[in-house]
Amino acid sequence: MSEFTELNSAPHVALLPGSGMGHLNPFLRLAVSLTNQRVQVSFITTHPIVSKAESKALACLFSANPKITCKEFHLVPFDKSSADSEDPFYLQCAVIRRSSHLLSPLLSSFSPPLSALITDMNLASTVIPVTEALHLPNYILFTSSAQMLSLFVSFPVMVSSKVGGDSDIEGDILTIPGLQEIPKTWIPPFLLNMNKFFRNYFIENGKKTLQSKGILVNTFESLELQTLKALNDGKVVWNLPPVFAIGPFMPYQSSPTLTWLDDQPSKSVVYVCFGSRSALSREQIKELAVGLTRCQCRFLWVVDDNTVNQESSVELDEVLGHEFQEKVKDKGLVVRDWISQEEILGHPAIGWFLSHCGWNSILEAVWHGVPILAWPQMSDQKMNADVVERSGIGMWEKSWGWGDEKTLVNSQEIGEELEKIMRNELIREQAKQMREEARRAVAGGGSSKNAILDLVEIWNSL
Ligand code: UDP
Ligand code: UDP
């Protein structure tokens, strides 16, 4: 078959990501993975773009994958002064939601016509009505863990069953049907605040996701077997559409890592990064700095005291002081720039990962067999940290709390915890085994590979 006829007979799927790198990265990886399965992929980019990291990642995708078509989606103008949040990513998400009506002509203009749309979970409640009107099958990409998905789809039922409608959650424990009980302190704090606008989004999106044709999750059976089973057996929510566990999404590009790492002994470095959105307080950064200096290991630390990765006006010296960088230059490296994390985690010098437990970070560590010391900071991260701990690939010191101003973790505790994980051979071995499981899942005959093939077959038959 020529490439032309092959593409013409392939299903045509469009992808619509939400905002922030934690949502964009899995969409980019999924786009490449579907193209490799001979699916024709169109990628919808929302404009204006928020961060430099997002613009760069998109430019890389299109230049390295000419088969993926780019469709621009221009958002409605938005008056930021009337916004409910200062977080630029939540704002962007709100603007995309408000612009959803403009999607109808865009989605109808694709040629050949679309077989399906894959939508970010944060856009479900405003985009599914649009695709329903067009009779276009809509699949949701859930960019966090299956465990978080179970909260996402059961939370609307939990709050609506309370007398008086959307009242606050009572008691200290939450019961997600079909799953273990969860301390209330593990759920994203914004869900406990009735005044947060994204609490309502979360509820609306969770409800509307039940009307999608399926839910795609970047996870795999060996990592979250019980949760996936409970979801697909209808125990969490009886009318849930099928959940496709199709992870780990694989890295698809290689960029140079830091030459500093090449000079470090194998598995000697702890990599410290709190994702693209979680900024530690100045006080906590200082304690962490001393903790890292005290502990035996070498370290590579990505310091971000800004939530948006744009040109930062604050110099590193202002946060840590020049002295610190001089003092640690033989055992540690501190970087302020956006680095390619998937490359760093794959470097042989990396031995451990001190992580905020963003789901992408966890799956990237799993892919490379790097054990995790979990230090959740916000949103879904405690739910994910629990997956890390229960699957045996890392440790979570729960007394560290959310890493907010209420719980300053001192340098001694940080140093001790790092020493503990460095000595823990069992966790290192379990992380290594999970790496093998991850690779088996996406190889021929593996559970995630089969789930992707099932999806492609469904789209082919539409
Ligand atoms: N990331 C990166 N370089 C950085 C910080 C983050 O490449 O300096 C990537 C990381 O590999 C991951 C994504 O950005 O794919 C962050 O997503 P995650 O779910 O881990 O956390 P979030 O940033 O959404 O809190
Ligand atoms: N969320 C939402 N609507 C928004 C922003 C956030 O529903 O406009 C929910 C989202 O479903 C997620 C949680 O808030 O479960 C955390 O948001 P996000 O995933 O953006 O945070 P991140 O993972 O990037 O830290």
Mean pLDDT throughout 118-126?
Answer: 98
* pLDDT score of 8 more than 60: no
Residues 335 and 234 in one domain: no
Contact (Cβ atoms closer than 8 angstroms) between residue 139 and residue 119: yes
Residues 210 and 277 in one domain: no
SS3 175: strand
H-helix or E-strand spanning residue 450: helix 447-460
Residues 272 and 213 in one domain: no
Look at residue 168 in the predicted model and tell me its pLDDT. Answer: 67
* pLDDT score of 100 more than 70: yes
Q: Give the mean pLDDT of the chain.
A: 91
Ligand 1: which atom is nearest the Cα of residue 304?
8
Q: What's the pLDDT tens digit per position in 210-248?
A: 999 999 999 999 999 999 999 999 999 999 999 999 999
Which residue out of 93, 257, 276, 367 has the highest number of ligand 1 atoms within 8 Å of its CB and is therefore the one to mutate? 276
Residues 246 and 119 in one domain: yes
Contact (Cβ atoms closer than 8 angstroms) between residue 389 and residue 271: no
- Closest residue (by CA) to atom 8 of ligand 1? 338
Q: What's the pLDDT tens digit per position in 181-199?
A: 999 999 999 999 887 788 9
Q: Is 47 a catalytic residue?
A: no
**How far apart are alpha carbons 374 and 398 in whole angstroms?**
9
ipTM: 0.85
Residues 288 and 213 in one domain: no
Contact (Cβ atoms closer than 8 angstroms) between residue 204 and residue 129: no
Residues 219 and 339 in one domain: no
Mean pLDDT throughout 275-293?
Answer: 88
Look at residue 167 in the predicted model and tell me its pLDDT. Answer: 57
Q: What's the pLDDT tens digit per position in 299-323?
A: 999 987 665 544 454 556 766 777 8
Give me ligand 1 centre to Cα 4, in Å.
36
Counting the structural domains of the chain, the total is: 2
When pLDDT is cut at 50, 70 and 90, the band that residue 291 belongs to is very high
Look at residue 336 in the predicted model and tell me its pLDDT. Answer: 82
Residues 59 and 151 in one domain: yes
When pLDDT is cut at 50, 70 and 90, the band that residue 115 belongs to is very high
Instruction: List ligand 1's pocket residues with C-beta within 6 A.
Output: 20-22, 25, 273, 275-278, 302, 338-342, 358-361, 364
* pLDDT score of 326 more than 90: no
Which residue out of 148, 308, 341 has the highest number of ligand 1 atoms within 8 Å of its CB and is therefore the one to mutate? 341
Give me ligand 1 centre to Cα 155, in Å.
26
Residues 411 and 452 in one domain: no
Ligand 2: which atom is nearest the Cα of residue 202?
7
Point out the catalytic residue in the list 120, 304, 380, 386: 120
50 lines ligand 2 (CB under 6 A): no
**How far apart are alpha carbons 188 and 170 in whole angstroms?**
15
93 lines ligand 2 (CB under 6 A): yes
When pLDDT is cut at 50, 70 and 90, the band that residue 166 belongs to is low
Mean pLDDT throughout 57-77?
Answer: 96
Q: At 160, which CATH number?
A: 3.40.50.2000
198 lines ligand 2 (CB under 6 A): yes
Look at residue 403 in the predicted model and tell me its pLDDT. Answer: 83
Q: What's the pLDDT tens digit per position in 349-395?
A: 999 999 999 999 999 999 999 999 999 999 999 999 999 999 999 99
Nearest to 142 by CA among 384, 393, 350, 347: 384
Residues 79 and 108 in one domain: yes
> For residues 362-391, b (16+ Cβ closer than 10 Å) or e, as one string?
bbbbbbbbbbbbbbbbbbbbbbbbbbbbbb
Residues 244 and 343 in one domain: no
Q: Is 84 a catalytic residue?
A: no
Looking at all shown ligands, the one closest to residue 18's CA atom is 2
**195 vs 141, higher pLDDT:** 141
Q: What phi and psi, each to the nearest 5 degrees, are found at residue 365?
A: -65, -40
* pLDDT score of 276 more than 60: yes
pTM (2 decimals)?
0.93
Residues 164 and 201 in one domain: yes
Residues of the domain holding 62: 3-252+444-461
Q: Distance of CA 405 to CAs 132, 186, 408, Å?
A: 45, 17, 6
Look at residue 163 in the predicted model and tell me its pLDDT. Answer: 56
When pLDDT is cut at 50, 70 and 90, the band that residue 180 belongs to is confident
Looking at all shown ligands, the one closest to residue 85's CA atom is 2
Give me ligand 1 centre to Cα 192, in Å.
25
Residues 38 and 97 in one domain: yes
